[in-house]
Structure 1
């Protein structure tokens, strides 16, 4: 009898749980439907604001305010220029920026993370100084979110601080790099200044990013760093010169093939392959035949790009070595 009662009670509890789950799911479905309806109703006003028209934004309250803000945030992620300025102006006028700035200094970590992330989407440059301070937050998630938002805001004044946070391992290198890439070419002047920084990690990061974001005329500041005391800086500089296609640095890159550090020689060989020009073939041929694995491999690949016929001839010689043979085999495919 007791077992019967237990089974009956469990059956009732199970049925109640199922009904509760169904009721919750129905409530969520209705809420999402109401949200979609509200978004459809407010979307014309959001688009009018973005397009610079004079939108008749209705007086909003409660859920409507959040839905309208979400629409603007969604569109802001793909915008720059005047449209982005209009969105940030709206958020400033409604007090949203000030509210998120207060949350950025709150006690709860989750609130700080959400504020650090959200301020990038609100688009207000007033948030930049506080986001820079947040790079020293005790929470790694807050620091990462602040870094992302500085990139989203195009904060050229924060370039050095973002690199500093990456060098000090306060922010993952990938997160800092993504933010700096989002800032874009406007970051290059600050990066050029950092080539003279006392810390070689700053110089190496600056050289690498100049190669990714810079233009051909930005390469003029780089060749002297091929003689930097840090091999990381020399390797990053060679890579940047290759990406920028700096033909004027070809002779200095050829000299760098004699660097004492193998990965620097490999970087110089790769860069010469990207730049092209047959004046470097003799030096590359020597490296491909006799150097260590990485420099020799990169030199053979560079030669295959610059002068394929030379690689095919060299592969037939007794002292060609495995890397020229491999490069020739690839050319024959």
Structure 2
């Protein structure tokens, strides 16, 4: 028996590539799939040629498979497709751009952020985010005044990934953006620093009109770890949305906020098992002996995850 050849089912690369010239779009689309499945870098030139295929289904397949070729050349092909007239193709290309990790791809992506289309500009910033390209900082800061909230949010993502103290004024200003999606990104972005000005801006976001922003603020405060956040987080335990209360509980636990132990313990009586579990976890982190009785009252809780967390919290009390 011969050894298994992973390329045996696909045939010669050039033979597969020849099918890209077939009159039938379905044949061409399958050729794109077969070329990608060879996992050979030699097929990239053929895939890039298919970027200009006249059929949207073929271009869609190219947009999908180019994510597997993490190179500047693949990024260039995706940059063409992200401006495709077919919205499905453009979205797939935008998603694939965001998966690239090769820093060399930044040069190909950067021109997108000046495109006439807000969708393309947003896709460009989204693709640049994980690349942490210093050259993108200026464009990202300028885009925080873009007319499109989606572009502003994606540009903020680029700034956030760079984690530069010099960008704090811009990030703080973005917590007051007119759109909730931008404010949520901004409060998350500020979690890289423990500076009081950043903590104060995120604490203020606990009063935001959008519950998603309030939840993001609570989560960010848990990472910032500044004690000035405790009072705001305690107030958040009475929020109308359970998602916010849960994030506040988690943050207070991370802060080991002993002054909040009584208010946290009160949420052990919540109707929601997830909140009871989070309250028990926070009390375990705080490890205040005064909460022992409150925890003991739930050692036989109806929910198994709550019981397990209560037992863990009690071991933390000694």
How does the TM-score come out when normalised to structure 2? 0.65
- Counterpart in 2 of 1:143? 59
Q: How far apart in 1 are the matches of 2:245 and 2:78?
A: 45
Q: How far apart in 2 are the matches of 1:209 and 1:126?
A: 21
Match of 1:38, SS?
coil
Runs of at least 5 residues in structure 2 that lack an aligned partner in the other structure: 254-281, 283-318
Kindly tell me the number of residue pairs found equivalent between the two proteins. 244
Q: How far apart in 1 are the matches of 2:130 and 2:116?
A: 22
Aligned equivalent of 2:27, options 81, 95, 111: 111
Per the TM alignment, residue 131 of structure 1 is displaced from its structure 2 partner at its CA by 1.7
Q: How far apart in 1 are the matches of 2:60 and 2:92?
A: 10
Q: How far apart in 2 are the matches of 1:151 and 1:282?
A: 40
Q: How far apart in 2 are the matches of 1:325 and 1:98?
A: 59
Match of 1:70, SS?
coil
Give the direction of change, closer, same or farther, for the CA distance of 1:271–1:315 in structure 2 (3 Å limit). closer
Aligned equivalent of 1:260, options 171, 178, 191: 178
Aligned equivalent of 1:168, options 79, 86, 109: 86
Per the TM alignment, residue 231 of structure 1 is displaced from its structure 2 partner at its CA by 0.8
- Counterpart in 1 of 2:249? 329
Q: How does 1:184-263 map to 2 (within 5 A)?
A: 184-215=102-133, 218-263=136-181
- Counterpart in 2 of 1:70? 8
Match of 1:107, SS?
coil
Match of 2:95, SS?
helix
Per the TM alignment, residue 113 of structure 1 is displaced from its structure 2 partner at its CA by 2.2
- Counterpart in 1 of 2:206? 288
Q: How far apart in 1 are the matches of 2:52 and 2:157?
A: 32
Q: Tell me which moved more, 282-291 or 233-242.
A: 282-291
Which stretches of structure 1, 4 residues or more, deviate above 4 A after TM superposition?
A: 323-328
Give the direction of change, closer, same or farther, for the CA distance of 1:229–1:102 in structure 2 (3 Å limit). same
1:132 aligned onto 2:48: no
Give 1 or 2: higher helix fraction. 1
Runs of at least 5 residues in structure 1 that lack an aligned partner in the other structure: 1-36, 41-66, 74-90
Per the TM alignment, residue 230 of structure 1 is displaced from its structure 2 partner at its CA by 0.8
Per the TM alignment, residue 105 of structure 1 is displaced from its structure 2 partner at its CA by 2.0
Give the direction of change, closer, same or farther, for the CA distance of 1:256–1:177 in structure 2 (3 Å limit). same
How does the TM-score come out when normalised to structure 1? 0.63
Per the TM alignment, residue 239 of structure 1 is displaced from its structure 2 partner at its CA by 2.4
Q: How far apart in 2 are the matches of 1:220 and 1:269?
A: 20
Give the direction of change, closer, same or farther, for the CA distance of 1:282–1:161 in structure 2 (3 Å limit). same
**Retained in 2: the 8 A contact 1:152–1:179?**
no
Greater Rg over alpha carbons, structure? 1
**Retained in 1: the 8 A contact 2:78–2:94?**
no
Alignment RMSD, CA only? 3.1
**Retained in 1: the 8 A contact 2:206–2:232?**
no
